[in-house]
Chains A and B, each alone.
Chain A
């Protein structure tokens, strides 16, 4: 009987089987990675906007507070995107001729709204409420990133459920005090820390002192029994992880 297959067939056969297995596993793995990739989440991908609004310039450069534009962030679920009027407050005075700002002026003249592209966009079935997060002590940049360093706006986080859960399971990690002992030399400690992009969580090298009643309390760590986060969870009555990982926390 003549050989049907050449010698090499042996190694080829074994290799192909092995290869097949590796291929399948690889594809599955790739799929999982793709799910979390910026291609799906847009994380770090700047959006095209009618007007190339530079947060960096307005926040870091001019030191405008978040709430000047996102007015309802402390009181409503919806942080609020500024009406054209808000832009014009300044831009009727400065850069009045900048061609870049023409769409803004046009909108103001015609009364037709500017149509921005959402940078932080949750799926429609997820209900997020800004006010409660702000009130409980979640800083803006915890989710939105260093907006003061972003030129065109993009979402820093994946905004996927697992990401939300990470924080909801350990809120202490990301809480910060509203008011800290002011240190004139250190601008980072001025104002409401929630809106402080440069806020640093307490460490031995960088202790954070907050006002408790009429005396001050200093923290040198974020988590742990002595941590600031742990303390804030207590004083802000943040509900237990079990409570805030209920499905109905976000889905209705």
Chain B
């Protein structure tokens, strides 16, 4: 209930009688105590007034976000703004305190950030990271270049995770039936029940956790199982890889981890696999290798990519040829393909409209034995996976582009759904009298046909440990506030099995405790810290004199060298009996997918991720129902219609969004929305697709009914229009054309020659910063956008403000569709400030707030800006962002800690924009000058560049002919956006080149 109390304070909303005031809620609750507390809340929660109050009180739409400011009193706002205005705004600076350490930590050099290696677990898989820390505050996540799972790249979840750690809505106390309990109290009250369980060998004790690959934790659990022989440990992940392992089971008789090597691949076929989307295990490495193999400079060696996809993904957008199928039709296609390749006669015929595509594909695959690669998506049927393995085997991919190893998930053998089903059954049968739920939220994300909640309520003692007082916590007696990975010790394994260490950047912000600490207490009733536990385990693994040095090195590197799981020389048995093909869904098919920005809902309360537009449809702050234009026409629906989805009697309401390239007679919904207790940011937005999701059809199901309710349901999208209107914005060609005329990009538009000026052009003697963005490499994953937000303290504005066209992202990624709405080519174009040499924005600023630096940067001086917005009007790229209201949060202390101290926090009424991360440039320059040298190439990396897993963004000094950026700009593909306006942009693009199969081009 923190939320209610917190937002309630100093709230000034017009008290109409029909409105339910927070004060009342608190009143009604205050009388209630213990269990009754919850019931009261539940009753309340039923009433429409409560819903209305949530709408009003919780920053779900921007009105609430901005109303935050209306809660502050007038002078305070002026104060904040004035402070930015500084002395010359006739304001006197207040006396500021300065508070030194008592004893200064000796590794700490004040004013200089430190970097620590750690790893972020997402379900089973971990990603190796470096985290920037200012005076003990983690502020920014970077990839770990040494780490095989990162190679220096990151994804949206990595970048945004730092905000989750500081989230003021995280649970800050342990509660018993809603009443606060200190940790010692928790332990002492639990002792009794633990003793009791010990006595009966834990026959009534069950543990439910998320999937994990942490060696130390697994060991700990085994310890627990020893202490309580009867105890059972279940795991649940809503976005799981059950099918992947089941597929391996079919093909090899054992669950295996499949890893791919794109660096050796020439022809790639994806059977509904979105390996270029954040959240796919190995995303960082695959994206890196894929984009390297897609350089058109490779000429004929350039990789060709075929995609068979159901739900539109940015992965398939990068494909040279796409086949849009219902999710349920992919298996049939795979079977037909296997037959066509003579791999296995498993039935299945290509449909008429697939034949052309298929025959070309088959030829291509056969022509590239050993360099071909077939991937099956996590959401595809086990059979599809088995077939993919078989085909890879037959094409000699195994050992070359594909390799197999022990599953990273130690519990791959039994599917997660099965585990949840068993637990539920046990709970219903009353076997369970003590349940420990660790960092998982089944009450919210369990399949609709598994009634987890009612089963849960049958358990005598329910203990929940997690970051939030979430839906599950709500129904547990105990909630123990957990720790974020940046607050705890531990370990995890990445997609290739490499063991990575999780080391804390900060001691638990809300004095939470890790899973391992709780389990340790259950096992031995001792209170060892996660540090002791992790070290104890590894000592046992790596006993010996050199442990200390080994440990220090591993912590420093962030991973255990050479711990990747060894490849298993297995071959797929072609004659495996595949299960009978599941008949293609009848009627309208519904496709369930993880959400591109909030995954399975665990990031629902992360404002950065909520405001990041979904890569393909550019919608944020919601999960619309995606549908093809043709189908919508047939059902005569249009975008932003509110529709009611009905599947097996279960109903939800949602907004419709028409999506080019969506298969007909199908709709796509993403998981993770419709949270009730996510927090002020994430509660009550979108709808929960879990309400429709059945355990036997996790990823797609037939026979969904779509009915327009007649209401309008507005969606927020920072990019209203996704067509190029025949303008040469993204310039693209086929490989053939590129080889014929490498300079095609320049022939599309005539740009004025550099000499064409009456004036003496400025020369930039010292440095001349510039950026080149390779449109061929960019996969549109949006990581750069979030990285920029984290690095530059960019405010979150909320859905309503985004709808009004006031989103603040300095770096946006534009999508453009080209061609038919059935099967368009989609291009991604990251658009930061172009840093024009003839900047149109500068000339029109009346107060010299935006001017050029001697290094050619278009400086924006926030504290000089009076906010005429003229510069934005005159910016042809519309990359400038304006603080229409007080968007930055100057009040919440946690959010202040998160901020990058090297970047001003912008107040109301000032313009802001991409600065090429001037703070990074300045620091590099100062370091260089102190060493009496020039800034080296690669020494300055912009946040977007550093975050990009695809190496699409390169920044550097144009005066240094040797720099990477100079080389790229020398490329024939290099062109300036709207260069015909003679703005002379410093940011330029390398034109996109597709590599289509000539057979299919006609």
Contact = CB atoms under 8 A, between A and B. Distances in A.
Interface string B517-541: 0000000000000000000000000
Contacts of A237: 929, 932
Interface string B843-883: 00000000101110101011110000000000000000000
Contacts of B929: 132, 135-136, 237, 239
Interface string A32-60: 00010001111000010000000000000
B367 interface: no
Contacts of A83: 100-104
Contacts of B98: 81, 115-118
A176 to B, nearest CB: 17
A127 B863 CA distance: 12
Given A76-B110, A132-B926, A112 B95 contact: no
Contacts of A112: 102
A5 B99 CA distance: 68
Interface in B867-908: 902-904
Interface in B894-934: 902-904, 915, 918-919, 921-922, 926, 929-930, 932
A40 B100 contact: no
B633 to A, nearest CB: 51
Task: Name, among A107, A132, A248, the residue most crowded by chain B CB atoms within 10 Å (CB to CB).
Answer: A248
A237 B100 CA distance: 34
Contacts of A84: 100-103
B112 interface: yes
Contacts of A76: 109-112
Given A39-B92, A135-B930, A118 B97 contact: yes
A75 B109 contact: yes
B137 to A, nearest CB: 15
B766 interface: yes
A72 B932 CA distance: 19
Contacts of A81: 98, 100
B86, B98, B862, B903, most chain A CB atoms within 10 A: B98
Given A115-B99, A116-B99, A124 B859 contact: no
Contacts of B863: 123, 125, 251
Nearest to B921: A248
B107 interface: no
A251 B92 contact: no
Contact of B99 (A113, A135, A239): A113
Given A35-B90, A237-B929, A252-B902, A246 B102 contact: no
Nearest to A159: B87
A85 interface: yes
B102 A108 contact: yes
Contacts of B84: 124-125
Given A72-B111, A76-B112, A248 B857 contact: yes
A209 B96 CA distance: 42
A113 B101 CA distance: 6
Contacts of B109: 72, 75-76
B859 A248 contact: yes
B961 interface: no
B859 to A, nearest CB: 4
B110 A80 contact: yes
B83 interface: yes
Contacts of B902: 127, 252
Interface in B733-770: 766
A170 interface: no
A215 interface: no
B859 A251 contact: yes
B100 A114 contact: yes
A124 B101 contact: no
A179 B888 CA distance: 47
Contacts of B188: none
A108 B101 CA distance: 10
B843 to A, nearest CB: 16
B88 interface: yes
Contact of A117 (B97, B919, B921, B932): B97
A14 interface: no
A226 interface: no
A118 B96 contact: yes
Highest count of chain B CB atoms <10 Å: which of A116, A131, A246: A246
B15 interface: no
Given A123-B93, A251-B862, A252-B922, A72 B766 contact: no
A69 B950 CA distance: 46
Contacts of A114: 99-100
Given A35-B90, A113-B100, A117-B97, A123 B926 contact: no
Interface in B101-154: 101-104, 109-112
A72 B105 CA distance: 13
B87 A123 contact: yes
B889 to A, nearest CB: 15
B986 to A, nearest CB: 14
B102 A85 contact: yes
Interface string A218-243: 00000000000000000001011011
Given A35-B88, A248-B918, A121 B103 contact: no
Nearest to B105: A83
Nearest to B135: A78
A99 interface: no
A39 B95 CA distance: 12
A243 B95 contact: no
Interface string A101-123: 00000011001111111100101
A160 interface: yes
B731 to A, nearest CB: 31
Nearest to A69: B100
B904 A246 contact: no
B854 A242 contact: yes
Contacts of B918: 248, 252
A201 B112 CA distance: 33
A249 to B, nearest CB: 8
Given A118-B98, A123-B863, A72 B110 contact: yes
Given A113-B99, A247-B861, A251-B861, A78 B111 contact: yes
A135 B932 CA distance: 10
A123 B927 CA distance: 24
Given A247-B853, A252-B918, A116 B97 contact: yes
Nearest to A84: B102
Contacts of A129: 922, 926
**Max count, chain A CB within 10 A of own CB: residue among B766, B851, B904:** B904
Most buried by A among B83, B84, B96, B862: B96
Contact of B766 (A42, A116, A243, A248): A243
B862 A125 contact: yes
A124 B766 contact: no
Contacts of B83: 123-124
Contacts of B111: 72, 76-78, 80
A244 B919 CA distance: 15
Contacts of A247: 851, 853, 859, 861, 864
B97 A115 contact: yes
B100 A35 contact: no
A243 B766 CA distance: 9
Contacts of B915: 248, 252
Interface string A65-78: 00000001001111
Interface of B: 83-84, 86-88, 90, 92-93, 95-104, 109-112, 766, 851, 853-855, 857, 859, 861-864, 902-904, 915, 918-919, 921-922, 926, 929-930, 932
6 contacts: A42-B93, A47-B95, A125-B863, A248-B921, A251-B861, A252-B922
Given A72-B112, A115-B97, A247-B851, 16 more contacts: A40-B87, A72-B110, A80-B110, A81-B98, A83-B104, A84-B103, A115-B99, A117-B97, A117-B98, A121-B93, A123-B83, A129-B926, A237-B929, A246-B854, A248-B918, A251-B862
Shortest Cβ-Cβ A-B pairs, 7 listed: A78-B111, A76-B111, A83-B101, A246-B853, A81-B100, A247-B859, A125-B863
